[in-house]
Amino acid sequence: MDHSGHGMTMDLPPFTLGRGLEFSPDLFFLIGCLAALGLYGWGVARLRRRGDAWPISRTVFFTVGVLTVALVMCTKLNDYGMVMFSVHMVQHMVISMLSPILLLLGAPVTLALRALPVAGRGSLGPRELLLKLLHSRYMRVVTHPAFTISMFIASLYALYFSPLFDFLMGSKAGHIGMMVHFLMVGLVFFWPIMGVDPGPHRPGYVMRMLELFAGMPFHAFFGIAMMMATQPLVESYKNPPASLGIDALADQNAAGGIAWAFSEIPSVLVLIALVYQWYHSEQRQAVRKDRAADRDGDKELEAYNAYLASLQTRSR
């Protein structure tokens, strides 16, 4: 028996972690993950060949980020996610909140700008097109906090509390589109906050933290609403296959608990990254000031001392 026309079998056995992690690739995401790893590896290799360094930590972050996408989309977690709300919510939270953070810590845009060759005068190559996109009005809009926070919230409330979710679950293309949407929303939400890659909006560290916490409470409220509901809220999961041996309402409560718990995980990861970046930014600024002082004989300190001396003279 098929589920929603996807060709997914509904007679899955009861869910266990072992069964969920069995290899069951979605071709779209499998090709996408392999392509992402291949392009990133090409960029790193190109830098190394010309003698430029690229932090190993960034390569590790990006690789793990791609693997988290593959984990939820190229295993039977994707199959179970079609019939179990709780498993689907794991997919949603990972691909929209964990994967984007890891991918962005890999600085793929910075790598592309450094690795792609510069086109000849008057011509547009991949690097020039990327720069044009980064400086476009479109990119300024989609990375603006008013847009990113709104989309982040709408991806929960407007999707799950409307017929749109059931419509998207009704076809394979709709399901893939929904998952791609989750990933893209996560990327544009965390991109300005992480501040690793260049972009149109690069607020200060305090503003980044405020942007982060502006969106996170809504995830918690969404999870609590799911947990407190007294009846199934999403049509697609109202009648789970008997072979799973689960209750629809209990599974929905579990999905709400997962959404609520995941609102804390990215907050901690991003805060750690921001504090680390902030510290190193202050360190670099201090080094620059020391070098400037060495070059000009510390004229700034001399000027300040002269100012204090002038104040002392006036007081007499």
Q: Where are the domains of the chain?
A: 17-116+142-315
276 in Cβ contact with 250 (< 8 Å): no
Residue-wise pLDDT for 237-278, tens only, equals 999 999 999 999 999 999 999 998 887 777 777 777 777 776
Place of tokens 């997919």: 91
Q: What are phi and psi for residue 8, nearest 5 degrees?
A: -80, 135
189 in Cβ contact with 146 (< 8 Å): no
Structure-block tokens of residue 256: 């709400």
In the predicted model, is pLDDT for residue 283 greater than 70? no
pLDDT band at 2 (very low <50, low <70, confident <90, very high): very low
Chain center to CA of 112: 18
Mean pLDDT of the chain: 84
Residue-wise pLDDT for 41-93, tens only, equals 999 999 999 999 999 999 999 999 999 999 999 999 999 999 999 999 999 99
Helices 172-194 and 27-49 cross at an angle (nearest 10°) of 40
Residue-wise pLDDT for 142-192, tens only, equals 888 889 888 888 888 889 989 999 999 989 999 999 999 999 999 998 888
Choice among 5-9, 204-208, 227-231 with the minimum mean pLDDT: 5-9
**β-sheet bridge partners, residue 75:** 23
pLDDT band at 300 (very low <50, low <70, confident <90, very high): low
pLDDT value of position 209: 78
Average pLDDT over residues 30-35: 97
User: pTM for the complete prediction?
Assistant: 0.81
Highest mean pLDDT among 2-11, 248-257, 290-299 belongs to 248-257
pLDDT value of position 4: 44
- Of 118, 143, 111, the closest CA to residue 45 belongs to 111
Percent over 90 (pLDDT), the chain: 48
pLDDT value of position 78: 95
Distance CA 186, CA 167 (A): 22
